[in-house]
Amino acid sequence: MSSDDSKFIRIIDAINIPYLTPSTVILHVYWKGALNLEKTREIIKKLKNLVSEEEYHLAMEELGGEEK
């Protein structure tokens, strides 16, 4: 299951249902080699206003931090 709705995530987390956030799915695709670093950063940047600030920054950290 994939979601970025914090209330929903708290509920499914409480009943031990596994889930992924949207940026985690994108990172997984990157780690599998289906996306290059540049394209992955571009996609994550497009998600910035749709996911939590924490999720965005964690995803960018996984990609080596934000470009200057």
Mean pLDDT by 10 residues, the chain (68 residues): 73 86 94 97 95 92 86
pLDDT at site 63: 97
pLDDT score for 7: 83
What pLDDT score does 2 carry?
Answer: 61
| Contact by Cβ (8 Å): 68, 21 | no
Residue 31, pLDDT score? 97
The three-point CA angle 35-25-14 to 5° equals 165
Query: In angstroms, how far is CA 8 from the centroid of its own chain?
Result: 16
Q: What is the pLDDT of residue 15?
A: 92
